[in-house]
Amino acid sequence: AQSVTQPDIHITVSEGASLELRCNYSYGATPYLFWYVQSPGQGLQLLLKYFSGDTLVQGIKGFEAEFKRSQSSFNLRKPSVHWSDAAEYFCAPDNGNQFYFGTGTSLTVIP
């Protein structure tokens, strides 16, 4: 069965620290891969996407993600977190027919 896993339900980091949010998927073939962010009181926003080619993709707000086929992972990273990055982050593979969302990782940023 197809599935997506975000192992970390909640992460707390200090402002300025680095961040990595994990995402693992289980699909028959490599899906398209997306990361979305949902800020408090706001809608969902696309951070970045991977379709093919270079496995390290750059997104908005200084985020990047690396696709690792051998690990079926698409982890989201940021070198230096800002307080405004506090939000809920969703990994969302697309198997070509439908988008499915991971359970989400809630990020708290402390001063």
Partner 1 sequence: GAVVSQHPSRVICKSGTSVKIECRSLDFQATTMFWYRQFPKQSLMLMATSNEGSKATYEQGVEKDKFLINHASLTLSTLTVTSAHPEDSSFYICSAPDSGANVLTFGAGSRLTVL
The structure tokens 């979305």 sit at 36
* Distance between CA atoms of residues 54 and 97, nearest Å: 23
- The footprint of partner 1 on residues 3-62 (CB under 8 A) is 32, 34, 36, 42-46, 49, 51
As a whole number of Å, the end-to-end CA separation of the chain is 41
Residues 57 and 65: their CA atoms lie apart, in Å, by: 5
Q: Which of 52, 54, 98, 111 binds partner 1 (CB under 8 A)?
A: 98
Cβ-based nearer residue to partner 1, 44 or 110: 44
- State which of residues 2, 12, 39, 103 lies at the interface with partner 1 (CB under 8 A): 103
Contact residues toward partner 1 (CB under 8 A) are 32, 34, 36, 42-46, 49, 51, 90, 92, 94, 98-104, 106
